[in-house]
Structure 1
């Protein structure tokens, strides 16, 4: 009988957002994926809730990994990236932070931003 330990590990597919718990996990995700869109959010934040279906669609339909960071559970991580308001989206390309967007942006704008780094 074989044991599937991969089911206990974080998903390797990028079709769903990866929920981040701590700086080490975010660094690991950024290191393993060429493009990572990181959504710093809070459950109580109305604009964050409006943005959630957009980031889920981008995770499913683009070649970017989408990471979600709950700022209430990861206050130090949010502070380390200078997050002062939510939602804040940070885009990483090739392991480096390349963009920061504060507030809600449309799916088309975010898709175009991801594509600009995918080429």
Structure 2
């Protein structure tokens, strides 16, 4: 797996499926434009991606409304950890700092993450 320098930004469900197929594990943030907490999460997720061996993808389900139901997004920001194509954990508790996100990864990710 090759990590990217910045979080990926798939535009729709098809692009997210492509990212899921090529990056494992993957931390997905569901956000909406205009959400201040979501905007504040972007630099945090960049830090997390550099600190942990995990790729981060940021997806706006408003751009592909089918993602809301497919991923059961009920609030933003929502973080979903995906391994082997399956959701293994979710955090939908508003803004989280890097330490909280790293703790979430440590708790839920299979071995192999370097955090």
TM-score normalised over the length of structure 1 = 0.80
Q: How many residues align?
A: 108
Structure of greater Rg: 1
DSSP-derived class of the 2:9 partner: strand
Deviations 1:27-78 (A, max 9, x none): 2211222211101011210111121111111122221110010122122112
Cα RMSD, aligned residues only: 1.6
Q: Which residues of structure 1 form unaligned runs of 5+?
A: 1-11
Alignment check: 8 A CA contact 1:42 1:70 kept = yes
Where does structure 1 differ by over 3 angstroms across 4 or more consecutive aligned residues? none
TM-score normalised over the length of structure 2 = 0.83
1:19-30 matches, cutoff 5 A? 19-30=9-20
Structure number with the higher strand fraction is 1
